[in-house]
Amino acid sequence: MIYLPREDSYLLKKWVEKLAHGDVLDMGTGTGIQAFAAAPKAKKVIAVDKNPEAIEYCKNAFHIFENVEFRESDLFSNVPEKFDFIIFNPPYLPESKYDKEIDTTGGKEGWETIAKFLKEAKKHLNKKGQIVMVFSSLTNPKKVLEVAKKLGYKAKLLDKKHINFEDIFVYEFSI
């Protein structure tokens, strides 16, 4: 199953269209919505997902873009390059008895996948590079920002939207 774009994806896409530049990584590409949004402004886009079904879907859907490459990767496991701009729409919901899906849950508390990503991303971010990421009020934003600060990131809130029972945030992280 491929994570289909929802409100969080569209909110993130708005910022990708504004800010994408240079060499871009779309982490957890899903349907490729962020790679597609970044492609016109990027020198090159590498879009990765650990779901092989998502990668096959994207390769078939976006073969017209010469500057976009799709690969299977669990976070940075198959990504040796450095980037100017990294996009991440992570799985960010806390596990529950109702939801243990890998495309939506980011660990027992919801922020664990984000913490692992931020730790690894430092090695893949060019000087003056940016990370643009979306997550929810259900993720424990204070913990995400605490982890980011401990890792040496500066965090900037770009956008916030209330949807049903949660707030969705788009943050920019830089070193």
Half-sphere exposure of 6 (CA within 13 A, CB side): 16
> How many Å apart are CA 82 and CA 93, to the nearest integer?
28
> How many Å apart are CA 59 and CA 40, to the nearest integer?
17
Q: Is residue 75 part of a domain?
A: yes
> How many Å apart are CA 94 and CA 25, to the nearest integer?
25
The total of structural domains in the chain comes to: 1
CA dihedral 31, 32, 36, 39 (to 10 degrees): -170
The share of the chain scoring above pLDDT 90, in percent, equals 75
Q: Is residue 161 part of a domain?
A: yes
pTM for this predicted structure: 0.91
CA dihedral 141, 74, 175, 147 (to 10 degrees): 30
Range of the domain at 25: 7-174
pLDDT of 55-65, one tens digit each? 999 998 877 78
Q: Is residue 2 part of a domain?
A: no
Pairing of β 154-163 and β 166-174: antiparallel
pLDDT of 10-35, one tens digit each? 999 999 999 999 999 999 999 999 99
- One pLDDT digit (tens) per residue for the chain, 175 residues: 777 788 999 999 999 999 999 999 999 999 999 999 999 999 999 999 999 999 999 998 877 788 999 999 999 999 999 999 999 999 766 565 454 455 555 456 667 889 999 999 999 999 999 999 999 998 989 999 999 999 999 999 999 999 988 999 999 999 9
Q: Would you report the helix, strand and coil content of the chain in percent, each value rounded to 5?
A: 35, 35, 35
Q: Is residue 1 part of a domain?
A: no
Of 114, 140, 94, nearest to 28 (Cα)? 114
> How many Å apart are CA 71 and CA 116, to the nearest integer?
20
Q: Is residue 19 part of a domain?
A: yes
Q: Is residue 116 part of a domain?
A: yes
CATH of residue 103's domain is 3.40.50.150
Residue 161 has a CB neighbour count (10 Å cut-off) of 15
Q: What is the pLDDT of residue 100?
A: 47
> How many Å apart are CA 106 and CA 124, to the nearest integer?
21
Q: What is the pLDDT of residue 96?
A: 56
Largest CA distance in the chain: 43
